[in-house]
């Protein structure tokens, strides 16, 4: 049996799939925080190039991937689809398990799928510099890589606690030519405001977003890029699921369940949306499960409300499942999943019962990741381990029920830059913090005034 199902470069999809076209209920519009009126595309112009703003609001079902983007994708795409031969054996399960491996990209995760597209459109419109935030560093290193290719300067605000914990990620960004700051900084009004309140602030994704947005808004030839949450970002990732469908067709298979980790949505959307299309277009009943950390449970315990995308309140109000933009998740090692809200599309899909959500505790997540590494050799990113935990539970259920089922998950990246997380697990130092109902209620109460 083949372990890897490959596609040739000629078989790489030529279009991104835009799920907006097929959603029974479109997402609610983003609102201006002052007027509470829907914002128009022109309000996003200081931050994003026009082509990306068009994609953000487009309801075209298929959007062509530019040739120049496909050329760069070829460095690692089409990515391999694996049959998890070793894991199936280890679990002794009748379930068939497949995983799509996005860790083959130069930055080691799925993030370059959108970074390359975003850098390209910015370059096309003459942008000289892009600012962004990064937590664990997956997104920052992907954007640094993409900007260098298209000759654009890149400035990254990296959450200070991660900046100190993950020096390799910072050096990786430098090697790709990017400038990296530990956020909060004294370079922005947003940063100064935070530092005035707490000079020792460890930073957060929300704060780093505020800083990056401010720099872009203040400078003519500078734009901002986001690695998740927004519609166009999610759309760029759909190449993952489309390739997966082609690869599974080659072995005559189709999943019953599609699983992905959940932070802001790009990882999950990338693999799941093309399968949801099969549900919409062909009446399939594929279950798509988003797996979030129990310490940051916006999908499973948050509320569907309007909220800011950042901490300081510089973004429009977005309709999202949220824990409130002041919610500070405990410092778990899956830094990419420590975000208070979910993208508008994902939130609407969940509200409409078209996707499912689960949460997993950190220690179970790493236990699953260790099993995977033992059986398959690849060390998964901590984010990916969330999906693996759910996959293992589903495979064990299949065994108990004595029936086969086909499971596909997104192995969104490798853990080469996250070895300290494994060390913490191996030495029994991972702590699972229980989020109380009162904490969530209090955090959500703070955003009650933002509702229309």
Residues lying near a copy of itself in the complex (CB under 8 A) are found at 2-4, 6, 8-10, 72, 74-76, 86, 104-106, 108, 145, 148-149, 167-168, 171-172, 174-177, 370, 373-374, 376-379, 416-417, 419-420, 422-423, 426
Give the nearer residue to a copy of itself in terms of CB position, either 404 or 416: 416
The half-sphere exposure of 219 on its side-chain side, counting CA atoms within 13 A, is 17
Report, in Å, the least distance between residue 240 CB and a copy of itself: 18
Tokens found for residue 374: 């033992």
Give the nearer residue to a copy of itself in terms of CB position, either 112 or 319: 112
Report, in Å, the least distance between residue 97 CB and a copy of itself: 15
Strands 96-101, 81-83: pairing is antiparallel
Report, in Å, the least distance between residue 253 CB and a copy of itself: 17
Give the nearer residue to a copy of itself in terms of CB position, either 17 or 101: 101
Give the nearer residue to a copy of itself in terms of CB position, either 97 or 447: 97
Report, in Å, the least distance between residue 414 CB and a copy of itself: 8
Give the nearer residue to a copy of itself in terms of CB position, either 21 or 373: 373
Give the nearer residue to a copy of itself in terms of CB position, either 149 or 230: 149
Enumerate the β-bridge partners of residue 287: 257
Dihedral angle, C-alpha 204, 205, 209, 212, nearest 10 °: 70
Report, in Å, the least distance between residue 246 CB and a copy of itself: 15
Report, in Å, the least distance between residue 425 CB and a copy of itself: 9
Rounded distance between C-alpha atoms, residue 329 and residue 340, angstroms: 8
Report, in Å, the least distance between residue 59 CB and a copy of itself: 33
Give the nearer residue to a copy of itself in terms of CB position, either 94 or 177: 177
Report, in Å, the least distance between residue 148 CB and a copy of itself: 6
Report, in Å, the least distance between residue 146 CB and a copy of itself: 9
Give the nearer residue to a copy of itself in terms of CB position, either 81 or 230: 81
Report, in Å, the least distance between residue 49 CB and a copy of itself: 22
Give the nearer residue to a copy of itself in terms of CB position, either 10 or 437: 10
Give the nearer residue to a copy of itself in terms of CB position, either 75 or 196: 75
Residues 6+ apart with CB under 8 A from 4: 80, 81, 82, 83
Tokens 């022109």: give the residue.
42
CA 41 to chain centre: 23
């Amino acid at each position: 049996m083949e372990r890897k199902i490959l596609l040739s470069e000629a078989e790489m999809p030529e279009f991104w799939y835009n799920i907006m076209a097929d959603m029974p209920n479109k997402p609610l519009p983003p609102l201006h925080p002052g007027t509470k009126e829907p914002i128009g595309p022109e309000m996003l112009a200081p931050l994003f190039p026009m082509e990306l703003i068009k994609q953000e609001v487009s309801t075209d079902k298929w959007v062509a991937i530019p040739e120049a983007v496909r050329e760069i994708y070829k460095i690692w795409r089409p990515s391999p689809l694996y049959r998890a031969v070793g894991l199936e054996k280890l679990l002794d399960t009748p379930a068939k398990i497949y995983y799509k491996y996005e860790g083959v990209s130069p930055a080691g995760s799925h993030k370059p799928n959108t970074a390359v597209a975003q850098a390209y459109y910015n370059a096309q419109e003459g942008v000289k510099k892009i600012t962004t935030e990064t937590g664990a560093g997956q997104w920052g290193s992907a954007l640094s890589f993409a900007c260098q290719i298209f000759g654009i300067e890149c400035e990254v605000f990296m959450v200070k606690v991660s900046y100190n914990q993950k020096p390799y990620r910072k050096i990786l960004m430098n090697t790709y030519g990017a400038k990296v700051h530990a956020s909060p900084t004294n370079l922005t009004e947003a940063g100064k405001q935070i530092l005035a309140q707490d000079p020792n602030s460890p930073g957060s994704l929300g704060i780093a977003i505020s800083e990056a947005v401010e720099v872009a808004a203040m400078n003519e030839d500078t734009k901002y890029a986001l690695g998740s949450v927004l519609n166009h970002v999610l759309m760029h990732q759909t190449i993952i699921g489309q390739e997966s469908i082609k690869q599974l067709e080659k072995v005559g298979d189709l999943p019953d369940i599609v699983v992905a980790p959940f932070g802001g949505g790009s990882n999950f959307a990338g693999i799941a949306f093309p399968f949801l299309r099969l549900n919409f277009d062909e009446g399939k009943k594929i279950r798509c499960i988003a797996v979030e950390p129990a310490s940051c449970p916006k999908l499973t315990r948050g509320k569907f409300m309007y909220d800011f995308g950042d901490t300081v309140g510089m973004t429009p109000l977005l309709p999202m499942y949220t824990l409130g933009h002041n919610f500070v998740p405990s410092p778990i090692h899956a830094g990419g999943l420590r975000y208070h809200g979910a993208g508008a599309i994902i939130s609407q899909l969940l509200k409409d019962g078209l996707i499912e959500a689960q949460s997993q505790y950190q220690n179970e997540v790493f236990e699953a990741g260790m099993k995977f590494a033992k059986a398959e050799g690849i060390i998964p990113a901590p984010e990916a381990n969330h999906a693996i935990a759910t996959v293992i539970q589903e495979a064990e259920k299949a065994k108990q029920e004595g029936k086969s089922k086909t499971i596909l998950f997104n192995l969104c990246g490798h853990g080469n830059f996250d070895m300290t997380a494994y060390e913490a697990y191996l030495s029994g130092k991972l702590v699972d913090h229980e989020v109380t109902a009162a904490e969530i209620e209090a955090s959500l109460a703070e955003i009650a005034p933002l509702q229309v």
